[in-house]
Amino acid sequence: MLPYKTLIQIDRHASVALYVQLCNAFIILITKGVLQPEDMLPSSRVLAGLIGVNRNTIKLAYEELVSQGWAEAVERKGIFVNSKLPISSKKVLAGVPQDGGTRNAFIWTNRFRNAMPSKDLQKAGLAIDDGFPDVRLAPIDQLMREYRSMSRKFYGKNFLRYGSSAGSERLRIAIANYLSITRGLTVSPENILITKGSQMGIYLAAHLLLSPGDPIAAGMSNYALADETFRHAGANILRVPVDALGMDIDFLEKNLEKTKIRAVYTIPHHHLPTTVTLSSERRLKLLNLAKTHRFAIIEDDYDFDFHYENKPYLPLASIDHNQNVIYIGSISKTFAPALRIGFMVGPPEFMKAASSLRELIDRQGDTLMEEAFSVLFDNGEVDRHFRKSLKIYKDRRDLFCEILASDFRDKITFDVPEGGLGIWANFAPDIDLHKVSFQARKKGLYIDDGDFYKNESFSTNALRMGFASLNETEMRQALKILEGVLSNAG
């Protein structure tokens, strides 16, 4: 007889009934091959004595096994594993094959073997992040109040049903108005798709525009997850240099003489990672090239709302007269990263196709949340939040840069960004950012190691250092830790 006392473990404090636990334990033994078809199960009296449960519990478990087809009762003989079950390869009593169970597992191609794990800042205490908003400033209480209010109203129950994959119509109207006021971008709700942040917009645009082998132009330095999205679509990336004036459009023009591209991906405001802004001259030239060569421009404008010095440049989408720009923005980057709300703007037919594609991977967004956000747009709360946070972030930028300039002048060089939520910090060549990141974490400070910004064409001893999510006390504390680490990193 098998050592059932060891093989079957019963948890008397679990919410699952004992007979169900026992039934499941036998099913596992059968599927692992420890018990084979026609094997006899122990009598209820014997098993009850072995594992210390009532005989009626054993009988109920056996009845359940029989009803599910795992066992069969043979009159005057007992309970047996169903003889019609396929024979499994015999396993050791522990039931765990030496290969971990993968020898006969399904075959697949892991295209994400070398992907970097996502950054989990929810568990980080003190952190110098990539440039994220301070979630403590966001009007979350007002948002949740509207969310609860909407859910209680009789018409709010309708938002719990399936809705449009394009997103809440009320939020699309609110965003259309907002884009018109802040960016001079005149669009209708039919031009807008609500997304789960800008990353979803990039994915949708890439998979609608690109086929395997198609070229897409992107910055020499670029947002790494956009690059991975284009590769996932099978595209080839044409790297374009990025300098102090943004993407080098003259370089792109020369390459268009020999390479026909399907799209250009650009971050014209506060390029990620270097924070530079695309000049007006290059913007107009890029739009003209798109018209001449008939390629799409994917404009990722993830933090347009944060400018500290001058009135911001108009987005490419605002001065595009040929419908060649797909404009992607994010509310997540201005409120809180975990609130996954973004938008994608483009020609109506393209947006219909994007909605259909979105429906295949994510039927729709959280309509109640989208409706609650629309109320914040309508009552001016979003505008008030931007005005308040803009002043706070400017002060934090100034203090952050002041400390870097005075205390890190031999270790870090940088340009003061005119907008955005982070700076591009170039570290001295003798500083190992991996060691810096490791040592800082041991002292309670999270800071990146710079690998996220590198690609096959771009590798530099630099990283983005976010200032917006740190108040003055936290900022001084974080930079003091970093200063101590860097003093021993040379």
Pairing of strands 236-240, 215-219: parallel
Q: For residue 353, what are its two tokens?
A: 């196709």
pLDDT at 110: 83
More confident residue, 226 or 162: 226
CB neighbour burial string for 403-433, b if at least 16 within 10 angstroms, e if fewer: bbeeebeebbebeebbbbbbbbbbbeeeebb
pLDDT at 101: 57
Confidence of residue 115 (pLDDT cuts 50, 70, 90): confident
pLDDT at 467 over 80: yes
pLDDT digits (tens, 9 = 90+) for 373-411: 999 999 999 999 999 999 999 999 999 999 999 999 999
% of residues, the chain, pLDDT over 90: 76
More confident residue, 91 or 5: 5
Q: For residue 275, what are its two tokens?
A: 């924070």
Distance CA 180, CA 191 (A): 13
Query: What is the CATH code of the structural domain delimited by 126-133+384-487?
Result: 3.90.1150.10
pLDDT at 124 over 90: no
pLDDT digits (tens, 9 = 90+) for 186-228: 999 999 999 999 999 999 999 999 999 999 999 999 999 999 9
pLDDT at 339: 84
Minimum mean pLDDT among 120-124, 354-358, 364-368, 437-441: which range?
120-124
pLDDT digits (tens, 9 = 90+) for 27-45: 999 998 999 999 999 999 9
* pTM beyond 0.85, yes or no: no
pLDDT at 368 over 60: yes
pLDDT at 90: 65
May I ask the CATH class of domain 140-382? alpha beta
pLDDT digits (tens, 9 = 90+) for 315-341: 999 999 899 999 999 988 788 888 889
User: Mean pLDDT over residues 409-422, rounded?
Assistant: 94
Q: Enumerate residues 6+ apart whose C-beta is below 8 A from 273.
A: 130, 221, 223, 424, 453, 462, 463, 464
| Dihedral sign of CA atoms 119, 123, 124, 126 in order | positive
Q: Which CATH number fits domain 4-81: 3.10.20.30, 1.20.120.1770, 1.10.10.10, 3.90.1280.10?
A: 1.10.10.10
Confidence of residue 171 (pLDDT cuts 50, 70, 90): very high
User: Mean pLDDT over residues 167-190, rounded?
Assistant: 94
The answer to whether 289 touches 253, Cβ cutoff 8 Å, is yes
Mean pLDDT of the chain: 91
pLDDT at 95: 45
User: Mean pLDDT over residues 54-73, rounded?
Assistant: 95
More confident residue, 15 or 89: 15
Instruction: Write out the E strands in 30-153.
Output: 71-74, 78-81, 126-128
pLDDT at 271 over 50: yes
For the chain, domain boundaries = 4-81, 126-133+384-487, 140-382
pLDDT at 87 over 90: no
